[in-house]
Amino acid sequence: MPRAMTRARRGVGALAIAGAVALLGQAVAPGAPAAAATGCAGAQHDFNGDGIRDTVIADPEATVAGKERAGQIHIVYGGDKGTFLLSQESPNVSDGAEEGDQFGFSYAVYDANLDGCSDIAVGIPFEDVGTVKDAGLVHLVYGSTAGVTGGTSSIGFRQGSDGKLAGGYEAEDWVGYAVAAGRSATNIPFLVIGAPGEDGGEGKDMGMFHYVYGVTYGVAHVAQDSTGVWEDPEPNDRFGASIAATDRHFVVGAPGESMVTSSGNREFAGGVVAFRPSINTYGIPDPLFGMGQGRTGTADTAAQSDDQYGAALAMAPYRPAGATSNTDSLLAVGVPGEDLATTVDAGAVHTYHIKADGTVTPLTWIDQNQPGVEGEAEPGDFFGRRLAAVNTSPSAPGTAATMRLAVGVPGEEETEEFPEEGGVQILPLLGDPGAGDVRLSPGHGVPAAVRAPRTLLGLGLGASPTALYVGVPYGPAENRAVHAFPWNTPDGGAPTRTWRPGEGGIPAANTAFGALLS
């Protein structure tokens, strides 16, 4: 998958555009699992336990303690209660900042120890372990009534006999390249850690993931040769390069997966595999199904080389009509390298309904050439390179108005003057994608003091039930910000809140402020 993940270090922006692209491990107990902490309200995405949602803004390319691209994360406490700058130099966080680590390249928020305060698992895929380059690491940093890092010291998950994850660490395993988390139907917290650079007997970069579950952190690891997992491991599959989860299901992408078609082998066509977050009799999360283009029943029946189906994933919990809870999930799969006729790398998105019984039904194929969908497919748009999905009314049956999808289009350009300025499209996750389609771009909804090429808008997307978060991590310094939009914003509508470097207690220094956010 040379265009999606090279072995040279590069920034998030370069990765995104150039990438337009079973064994039960040891259980470890870093300390007694916490009972509900005094004062922790148990709200989602709430690190200090006050019952108010907090905001996470990552800058994985930031300079920390003089170390370029060491990476850091801004925690903005809800209720205007201040900010906290999280890095490997923070109190109660082990290790230290190093050049090129990219702390915050991925992250997942969940209550790992069930104490009522949210915790954050931070992926650091380019962390060196000793002299082993880019082996990768995930830090689990705990929240508390005193805020992030105010209580229990962090723990690290890495491969190796002393690293809590099964398998030995190797150069460029990229542990933590993608992470996702949730809490199962039986109230067991889980964390999924991708290691897409993992090598095996079949060759390099086949990939795998680690599944960390429970408050004492049992660990299982899964590769494509694990029992019941779809497809066989092959070189360059990059299984684990993308992950998305709800409390009922999680899906792991293999954007380098090859597909055999009637006209030959299509390399880097891509695939995804779905699981249920419960350990089966083989000691791994229960595999449900796998799929790639040509095997999904959607409008596009032909896998093509370099499609990179599964390079981006997003999921939202879904309550079908007649159900009493969110038993199902809706899944969006990005295909940023999809060619539409002769339009190279225009990009597309598939959507699916994963049912409570683990079966899947294709819903919609989305591209910019469809009736009612804003814009027009152009070469190098990379529509679907980033995705965010949400259920805005999780206590009611889902509808087209409440199940929403945001699609990043970082290669979009409205005029030749500003190539790769980028954009974001908001669409229904159910029903006709052209109904209620909304477009945001620099100067059209997204504030832009200066219009400029290669702003790559659409690379920073995040979701909450009340807001779509759009980051502007690249382009002119005057434009760098994170904007919150209501999911029902009109076409080109204004944000309801904005966070900027140098304002509201956020340090002014930044490199890719808002590359990831929630």
183-209 pLDDT, tens digit each: 999 999 999 999 999 998 888 999 999
Q: Choose between 472 and 200: higher pLDDT.
A: 472
In this predicted structure, the answer to whether residue 1 has a pLDDT above a threshold of 70 is: no
Query: Which pLDDT score, from 0 to 100, does residue 2 have?
Result: 36
| Two structure tokens written together for 493 | 């509508």
Query: pLDDT tens-digit profile of 29-76?
Result: 333 344 444 578 899 999 999 999 999 999 999 999 999 999 999 999
Banded pLDDT at 444 (limits 50, 70, 90): very high
Q: Residue 122 in 3-state DSSP? A: strand
Element (DSSP H or E) covering residue 12: helix 12-18
Tell whether pTM > 0.95.
no
Residue pair 81/50 in contact (Cβ under 8 Å)? The answer is yes
Q: Give the percent of the chain with pLDDT over 70.
A: 90
pLDDT of residue 301: 56
Lowest mean per-residue pLDDT among 112-126, 127-141, 191-205, 258-272: 258-272
Contact 107/75 with Cβ under 8 angstroms?
Answer: no
What tokens appear for 251 in the block?
A: 């899906």
Cα–Cα nearest to 437, from 426, 424, 422, 423: 426
The DSSP secondary-structure symbol of 422 reads B
Location of structure tokens 């914003």:
489
Give which of 302, 389, 384, 375 is closest to 347, Cα–Cα: 384
In this prediction, residues 17-34 reach a mean pLDDT of 33
Q: What is the pLDDT of residue 38?
A: 56
Residue 12 has pLDDT above 70, yes or no: no
Give the DSSP letter of residue 403.
Answer: E
Assign 297 a pLDDT band (cuts: 50, 70, 90): very low
Mean pLDDT across the stretch 392-409?
96
* C-alpha–C-alpha distance, residues 108 and 312, integer Å: 15
Per-residue confidence (pLDDT) for residue 39, from 0 to 100: 73
For residue 16, the model assigns a pLDDT of 36
513 within 8 A of 504, measured Cβ to Cβ = no
**Is 235 a residue whose pLDDT tops 90?**
yes
Q: Is the pLDDT of residue 422 over 70?
A: yes
Q: Does position 305 have pLDDT exceeding 90, yes or no?
A: no
Other C-beta atoms lying within 10 Å of the C-beta of residue 446: 25
Kindly provide the residue ranges of all beta strands, DSSP E only, lying in 375-466, ordered along the sequence: 386-391, 403-408, 424-428, 438-442, 445-446, 460-464
Is 80 exceeded by the pLDDT of residue 9?
no
CA–CA distance, 329 with 252 (Å, rounded to integer): 14
Identify the three-state secondary structure at position 17.
helix
* The predicted structure's pLDDT at residue 103: 97
- Output b/e per residue, 87-126; b: 16+ Cβ within 10 A: bbbbeebeeebbebbbbbbbbbbbbbbbbbbbbbbbbbbb
Local confidence band at 81 (pLDDT 50, 70, 90 cut-offs): very high
pLDDT at 362 over 90: yes
- What's the whole-number average pLDDT of the chain? 89
User: Residue 201: its pLDDT value, please?
Assistant: 84
pLDDT score at 30:
35
Band the pLDDT of 250: cuts 50, 70, 90.
very high
Which whole-number Å values give the CA distances from 211 to 27, 190, 214, 398, in the listed order? 11, 7, 10, 29
d(CA 294, CA 302): 5
Name the residue among 172, 467, 209 with its Cα closest to residue 313: 209
Q: What is the pLDDT of residues 163-179, one digit of tens each?
A: 788 778 899 999 999 99
Backbone angles phi, psi at 460, to 5 degrees: -115, 105
Average pLDDT over residues 250-260: 92
Distance spanning both ends of the chain, measured CA to CA = 28
Tokens representing 263 are 């006209």
Residue 415, pLDDT score: 82
What DSSP state is assigned to residue 349? E
Under DSSP, the state recorded for 278 is: E
| pLDDT above 70 for 466 | yes
Q: Is 498 helix (H, G, I), strand (E, B) or coil?
A: strand
Question: Residue 365 and residue 362: Cα distance in Å, rounded?
Answer: 9
- Most confident of the following: 11-25, 75-89, 160-174: 75-89
For residue 316, the 8-state DSSP code is E
> What tokens appear for 368 in the block?
């910019």
What is the pLDDT, as a whole number, of residue 338? 94
Whether residue 118 is predicted with pLDDT greater than 90 in this model: the reply is yes
Which residue type sits at 236?
N
Output the pLDDT for position 262: 65
Question: What are the structure tokens assigned to 115, written together?
Answer: 């104490």
